[in-house]
Structure 1
Amino acid sequence: MTTSSRTVVEKVLRAGREVDIDTFVALMAPDGYIEWPYRPPGVPARLRGRAEIRRHLTETAGTFVTFDEYRNVVLHETADPEVVIVEYEAYGNLVVTGQPFEQTVIAVIRVRNGQILSYRDYLNPLPLVEALASVRARPTGRVG
């Protein structure tokens, strides 16, 4: 029995929140991709393939923001059984300052045969831009 698209999306959201890179990557199709159409500077537009996705997540996951929970998660199953639209609010903290961080996300995810072909992450870039600015403006504590 094939895993439903909804179940795969629920698993990938949990893996993302828990920074479970192995599970996240295993849910991706070998040539699947993640893209961020709206992103702050420094975030790649698209990652394609498990190796590239793994490398990026290994280098960046949990280094700037950690997420404790996703709230108000709504999964919309569509007329196309491969496509699920998910919306949620992510709550966590900036790693450097410990300050609270909130992010609103809408993602369009296409799943086929239990694997994610495409994950288009329409996050609100403004909280990230503001967080980056606040971290850059933070005194380094260095003397001289």
Structure 2
Amino acid sequence: MRRFEEAEWLAMHETQNSEVVVAEWIVHGQVTATGRSFTLSYMMVVKVQDGRIVSSRDYSNPIDGAKAFDRLPSPIDPLS
């Protein structure tokens, strides 16, 4: 459905818990069916203990995904 072309690192945020790190990045790509370019933004929360990742959660911006596939409802369009 999509082809990723490049990942761009944005930031790493320290938290009050020294075992937890928050990272942000964006991914550039194309929708394979239409060739339309897109940019998706992501955030990841990682917990590290003894030098190993023990948990990882990642989140994406749903508005970015809706725009990429032309599924953005008209009332939300002005917000983007």
Fold match by TM threshold 0.5: yes
The partner residue of 2:22 within 62, 65, 85 is 85
Which position in structure 2 is the counterpart of 1:25? Answer: none
Structure 2's unaligned 5+ residue stretches are 72-80
- Give the CA deviation at 1:88: 1.7
1:127 aligns with 2:64: yes
- Aligned length in residues: 71
Distance 2:22 2:56 in 1: 10
Which position in structure 1 is the counterpart of 2:6? Answer: 69
Q: Which has the higher contact order (CA 8 A, sep 6+)?
A: 1
Identity %: 34
**8 A Cα contact 1:65 1:101, kept in partner:** no
Q: With the length of structure 1 as denominator, give the TM-score of the two structures.
A: 0.41
**8 A Cα contact 1:108 1:121, kept in partner:** yes
Structure 1's unaligned 5+ residue stretches are 1-63, 135-144
Which position in structure 1 is the counterpart of 2:51? Answer: 114
Residue type at the aligned position of 1:77: E
More strand by share: 2
Deviation track 1:14-38 (CA, whole Å, cap 9, x = no partner) reads: xxxxxxxxxxxxxxxxxxxxxxxxx
- Give the CA deviation at 1:112: 2.2
Distance 1:113 1:96 in 2: 44
Find the residue that maps to 1:111 and give its secondary structure.
strand
4+ aligned runs moved over 6 Å, structure 1: none
Distance 1:124 1:83 in 2: 21
Distance 1:117 1:66 in 2: 29
Q: With the length of structure 2 as denominator, give the TM-score of the two structures.
A: 0.65
**8 A Cα contact 2:36 2:68, kept in partner:** no
Superposition CA RMSD, Å? 2.2
More helix by share: 1
